[in-house]
Every structure is written in structure tokens, then in C-alpha cells.
Structure 1
Amino acid sequence: MPPLVHKLDQHPEATFVPPTNPLTPPVPTVTVGQRILSACTGSIITSLIVTPFDVVRVRLQQQSALSAAESAAQAPNMLPPHSKIEAPLTKPKLTSSSTSASALKAHKLHPINVATLPKGLGVTACCKEVFWFPTSVDYCVASEVDRCAVEHAKQMRFTGTWQGMRTIYKYEGIQALWRGLSLTLMMAAPSTVLYFIGYEYLRDLSPIQSEVINPLVCGSLARTLSATVISPMELFRTRLQSYPFESSSSLAFQKTLAGMKSMLAQDGYQSLWRGLVLTLWRDVPFSGVYWSAYETFKAKLLRTQYFHGSVDAFTPSFIAGSAAGALASIITQPFDVGKTRRQIASCESAGQMSMIPLLTKMVREEGFGSLYVGSVPRILKVAPSCAIMISSYEVGKQLFVKMNGNNNNLLA
């Protein structure tokens, strides 16, 4: 078999034969800086478009984890005595501003099952009226608070990708769909540079001649490096996106930061890489499958009659990137669920388990379907993001090739 000669720049505008005439202008090439700029531009465009899908994916996976934890925590027959709280059944009369809290004691109380109260339920969520005592303490005077809380929890429960987006928009505002975007953009530069540039460098120097195995191995190695570097930022972003009931992004950021500080104080700096092994379980096979499928799909497209001899760098890259991203996403979805479970865990056993025991435990306690929770928003995020990213990268390199060629012609 002849040596593998495989470049991403397979269109005529980016593939050049070395000149035989010494007077011929220098061959235009794409510099490392131009490759970095192309990759970063693509990552910014991708992040702006697909971040809402990532937020919904994290929420769906967190919701599944919380539901499983609550089911395991509840007693089969009855709740312990301390799980009941008392709330006023009727509105107390206030005769003057000097009314004390003792006036509430005369009113009949009924128990509330706190297990049905969703986390993040604000004091006004189920209250028909709120008034303040002289101590400025909010007091809810609604009746049947427990039934209202159950209805509130049902309204906030995600049942799918688009319904999840509508729910977040309704209760938290449209800005919540882009929570973590700033961190995503901060991660984009080092991650993209290490990943894309590293992949091309390894691919071109690799002695492996197989057109399937070479991108699989090189893509896996490049992802291992980039994932290790950005793991602390991704941990922070995942925790930030997991807050489902905070309407204020600044408050969610503060709580996430406080949680990270507490984690560092308790577990040390190595905890910043919590879930890295699980991330590698997901990202390394994903990258291997993605690059192998992408190179294969793109090569087949370029050999078709429609794209043969075409200078269009966008369309074949977009189609191949989308198909490869969807395929890799489906294959590695269980690892993505395991990664999210571990990263949002604090002191739970899930935060300390390795991948295979964690996934085995999930299947045993929650069923096989738990491994594919959030798969739809992830595919809706990954497929277009891969398509946009790789096509933007290819188009950027093509533009720089033309620009460099024009500059060389002017200098000739």
C-alpha cells in the first residue's frame, strides 16, 4: 500500500503542486497563526449557536440524577416524623402593625410533605399573598401549599429538549439559555488550538497508513491533551449550568464559585480535575470515532460526481462533520451521562465512582434508558457544532490560502 497522504485541504484551491520553474511565485501556505484564527472563529460561532442545547442537556441529566436520589431516599411506607412541617391553613388576622408571631398559633395547621417540595421553590411561588412582620421576614399565607408545590414542580420538570428550552425561557429568562457561555468562549481558544492544530500535526507526521486507524489514533491523542488542559474550566461550567431555579446568573455564578472553593478546601486542587477520567472516557472515543468517520465521509463525498473538482470547501465539510458528530455522539452518550453525574455530585457516592461501576449502578437502579438521558439535546448540539466548527475551519483556511496566494503574486 502506498504511504498515506491525507490532508484536510483536499479542494483544488488549497492543494498545490510544488513549482518546477524557479521564477514561479512561492507556494501559498496556511500559517499556524492563521489556522488558530480559523479555529477560534469557528469555535465562537459554534458556541453562540449550540450553548442552549448544552444547558438543556445538563438540566435533563441532573433532573434524572435528582429523581433517582429522591426515590432512594424516601421510605417505602411513611416519612420519618421530622419530615413534616406545619403551615397555616387559613389567613391570620392582623389588627395592627404591632401584631406578633404568637397571633399565628391560634390557627389550625396541617402537615406538608416536604418530600414533594421542589428545591429552589421561592417563598412567593405558591403564595396568594405575602406580607411582612416588623422583623421583615416573609410569611406565606397561601393554603394547600403542598399541592401547589407539586404543581410547581410539574411545571418546572423537563420532558424534552424544546419543552426544556421553553421552560427555562419562561421561568428564568432567555439569558439562562446561554448560561456558561463566557466560560465556553474562554475554553474555546486553548481547547480548539490544541485539538485541531494538534490533530493535524499528529495526523501528518503519523507513520500509520490506514485511512481509518490514523485519524482515530491521532484524534484520540489530540483530545486527551486538550481535555486535560481545560478540565477545571469545564467542571466549573457544568456546575454553573446545572442550577435550574436561579433566575439571576450572577447569583448562580456566586453559588458555583462558593461550591468550588468549598470543594478545594475539602479535597484539594486535584479535585479540579474531578471527572477528568470520565471526560476522557467520553471525549477520547468520541474524537477517535469522529475524525475517522469525518475523514471517511468527506473522502467519499469528494469522490462523488457532485463534488469532484469543486472548490467548495464548506458543503462537503459541513455534511461530513454533521454525520460524523451525530454518529460519535450516539456511541458515546452513556459516557457523557456518567461524566455529568460525577461533576454535579458533591459528597454523593456518584462523585467518587469510576465509569463502569457508575454506569452499572445506573442501569441496575434506573434502567438502561438512564444511560441515554439528554441524548436528543446532545445530538442536536453536537451534530451542528461539529458541522459548523469543521466547515468554518476549512473555509477559513481556504480564505487564507487565497489571501496568501494573492500576496505572493503581488510580491512576484
Structure 2
Amino acid sequence: MNGQSSAPLASNGITPLQQMVASCSGAIITSLVVTPLDVVKIRLQAQKNPFPKGKCFVYCNGLMDHICVCENGNSRAWYKAPGHFAGTLDAFVKIVRVEGITALWSGLPPTLVMAVPATVLYFTCYDQLRASLSVKMGDYAQMAPLFAGAHPTVGAATVVSPVELIRTKLQAQKQSYRELTSCIRSAVQSEGWQSLWRGLGPTLLRDVPFSAMYWYNYEICKRRLCEHYHTREPTFAISFASGALSGSIAAVLTLPFDVVKTRRQVELGEQHTKNSSAEVSSSTLSVMRRIVAQDGFTGLFAGFLPRLIKIAPACAIMISSYEFGKAFFRKYNQEKVLRPLHATNTS
């Protein structure tokens, strides 16, 4: 076993590097499939309520949310489209016909630069942590996915948060990196380093319980489906179905925090666009109160159907691609061990 690869195999039969490759492939596939859905959604939103200059909106490539700032007058901006869209299907057809099929993946490259590394780190850490906790927790090993799913989320969200803030500033104002560095240094001197992590609170309140519930439900669904179909390893279909179901459950239960997080992101982005240091809202609770006052309790569940339509396939595609990648490398490693033995027996 020690001679089969340059890196030691984990308990699941693959190396950490192979886990990273599997998750990276899954992240790219997920982005390629889900991005067109969000591009069409934003085009429809922009048509119904045109974005004025400096207006912020949230764009998601299936893996992460990203803040975008509208630049008025730029006819080539991907969120502005000619013509009138009668609906989702009509938008797909007209965008492809007028701008070409590549327009459906507008804004994908810069988001992949942030999303793929964070996703690779997250999935690799989850697998390693779950394997370790399963051994240490003994009789309570079934709870390992709950804790293993929550912890990597904190690290990934914390690392990405300042980068997202910097990207928003670059979008909002045409400035050099030297000017940006000066701006960030000034903000840190006046408000402290914590100013780079504005909006992290509602992000963690949404993402940590989402990840915990997602992985816990996913492992249960996967195990039961494997037992039902009498298979030791999950097939692509089993992983896909388990990912879609567990993602849907987690998405519904964490929707209020997603609404708060989106509102907070947009408000912060518009603050930076206007060079305003005034706090629009000071806490997650205050944002919730304001949403309820403006739109009622149902306002906390705004965007229920779009979120479900986006999250379910994204989770399904990501996890099934990841599991397929792991199965491929596991088989490759096993064949690599057996190949010398087979050659010896036949010689």
C-alpha cells in the first residue's frame, strides 16, 4: 500500500490531492451548469426593475454568492440585455440569439477565481474531518457529518469575506490597486481590522447551519439508498438524489438568514459605492426587524422558489460529481496496487 502513490491514502482510499482534484472538477461542472440560471434570473430582475448606477445585486454561480455593482451607461454589461423577455425560456432563447450562447456564462471567470479554491478547501476539509470524528466519536459516529460540515464553513467564509469586500470596492470605483490599498489601510486605521469582515455574521448564520444540516441529511439519505439498492458505494444517481433532497431541506430551513445576508451584502456594497461610512444596519437582528416591518413576516422567506430551484441542482451536481471523482480515483489506486501483483502472477 505504501508504494502505490507518492502521498498516503486517507481512510476512503484516495489521497488529499485526489480529493482536491475531485472537488475542483465538481466545482467547475456545477458552475458551468448553474450559472446560466442565475444570469437569466438577474436579466429578468433588471428588466422589471432597472438597476440604477451604484445599485448592487447578488450573483451566484452555483457555489458562492457574489456582490455586483451596476455601472450605468455600459451597454456591454452582462446584466443588461436588449429586448423584452416574456419569461425564463424566452430569456434563454433571446439572449442566445442576440448575444451568443457564451453570454449565458457572463461573469463566470472572476467568480471561479474565488469560488473554486474555497470549494476545494471546504470539501477536502470536510472529508478529512468527518473521517477523524467518526473514529473518535465511536457510538455517536452518525453525528460526525453534522460537526464536520459546520467547521470548514467557518474557515472558508472567513477567508473569502475580505476578498469579497475588496472586489466590491473595485467594481464600485475605477481605481488602481495602489489607491485600493490606501483606501483599505485608511479603513483599517479608523475602524480596525474587523472592518474587512463586515457582513460575516449573517453569512455564518446562514452557511454554518446550512452545511451542518446538508451533510447530516446527505449521509443519512445516501446510506439508506445504498441499503435499499444493496450497494456498498453510492452510484451517481444515489449521490445526485441525496444531494438534491438534503440541499432542498437545508435551503428552506436557512432561508431567513439568506434573506438577511443578501440584504446586508447589498447595503454594504452600496455604502462603498457612495463612499459612505454610515452604518445602514448594525446587526442581523436589526435587519430582520426592518424586513418584518417593511414586508411582514413572509418577507423573511422572500425568494423561496428561486433559491430552491438554484440550490437543489447545485448541491446535486456538486456532490454527485465529487463522489464520482472520488470513486474514479479509488478505483485507479486499487488497480495501481493490483497491477504489479497481476504482472507477477502472469510472468
TM beyond 0.5 = yes
Question: Matched residue pairs, number?
Answer: 292
The answer as to whether partners of 2:222 and 2:234 remain within 8 angstroms in 1 is no
Matches within 5 A, 1:282-361: 282-304=206-228, 307-309=229-231, 313-345=235-267, 346-347=270-271, 351-361=280-290
Structure number with higher helix proportion = 2
Match of 1:404 in 2: 333
Q: Which letter does structure 2 place at the counterpart of 1:290? A: Y
Q: In the TM superposition, what is the alpha-carbon distance from 1:180 to its structure 2 partner? A: 3.3
**In structure 2, distance between residues paired with 1:339 and 1:212:** 30
Q: In the TM superposition, what is the alpha-carbon distance from 1:265 to its structure 2 partner? A: 6.4
Match of 2:32 in 1: 48
Q: In the TM superposition, what is the alpha-carbon distance from 1:183 to its structure 2 partner? A: 2.7
Q: 1:338 to 1:41 in 2, by over 3 A?
A: same
Match of 1:228 in 2: 158
The answer as to whether partners of 1:359 and 1:371 remain within 8 angstroms in 2 is yes
Counterpart check, 1:364 vs 2:293: yes
Matches within 5 A, 1:224-303: 224-235=154-165, 239=168, 254-255=171-172, 258=175, 261=180, 264=184, 267-268=187-188, 270-303=194-227
The runs of 5 or more residues in structure 2 that have no matched partner are 1-10, 56-69, 76-82, 342-347
Cα deviation 1:312-355 (Å, max 9, x = unaligned): 52111110001011111111122112112222223387754311
**In structure 1, distance between residues paired with 2:262 and 2:235:** 35
Q: TM-score, normalised by structure 1?
A: 0.59
The answer as to whether partners of 1:61 and 1:341 remain within 8 angstroms in 2 is no
The answer as to whether partners of 1:58 and 1:374 remain within 8 angstroms in 2 is no
**In structure 2, distance between residues paired with 1:34 and 1:369:** 44
The answer as to whether partners of 1:54 and 1:378 remain within 8 angstroms in 2 is no
**In structure 1, distance between residues paired with 2:117 and 2:310:** 20
Counterpart check, 1:36 vs 2:30: no
Q: 1:190 to 1:122 in 2, by over 3 A?
A: closer
**In structure 1, distance between residues paired with 2:146 and 2:115:** 22
Matches within 5 A, 1:5-404: 29-55=13-39, 177-206=104-133, 207-208=136-137, 209-210=139-140, 213-235=143-165, 239=168, 254-255=171-172, 258=175, 261=180, 264=184, 267-268=187-188, 270-304=194-228, 307-309=229-231, 313-345=235-267, 346-347=270-271, 351-404=280-333
Q: 1:312 to 1:28 in 2, by over 3 A?
A: closer
Cα deviation 1:168-206 (Å, max 9, x = unaligned): 779988656434312331123321232111112221222
Match of 2:67 in 1: none
The answer as to whether partners of 1:342 and 1:350 remain within 8 angstroms in 2 is no
The answer as to whether partners of 2:236 and 2:320 remain within 8 angstroms in 1 is yes
Instruction: From the CA coordinates, give the structure whose radius of gyration is larger.
Output: 1
The answer as to whether partners of 2:226 and 2:233 remain within 8 angstroms in 1 is no
Query: Over aligned residues, Cα RMSD in angstroms?
Result: 4.0
Q: 1:29 to 1:213 in 2, by over 3 A?
A: closer
Q: TM-score, normalised by structure 2?
A: 0.69
The answer as to whether partners of 2:30 and 2:317 remain within 8 angstroms in 1 is yes
Q: Which letter does structure 2 place at the counterpart of 1:38? A: A
Q: Which moved more, 1:336-345 or 1:174-183?
A: 174-183
The answer as to whether partners of 2:20 and 2:121 remain within 8 angstroms in 1 is no
Q: 1:182 to 1:123 in 2, by over 3 A?
A: closer
Q: Which letter does structure 2 place at the counterpart of 1:267? A: A
Q: Which moved more, 1:258-267 or 1:43-52?
A: 258-267
The answer as to whether partners of 1:282 and 1:336 remain within 8 angstroms in 2 is yes
Match of 1:7 in 2: none
**In structure 2, distance between residues paired with 1:263 and 1:57:** 33
Per the alignment, in what secondary structure is the counterpart of residue 30 of structure 1?
A: coil
- State percent identity of aligned pairs: 42
Q: Which letter does structure 2 place at the counterpart of 1:396? A: G
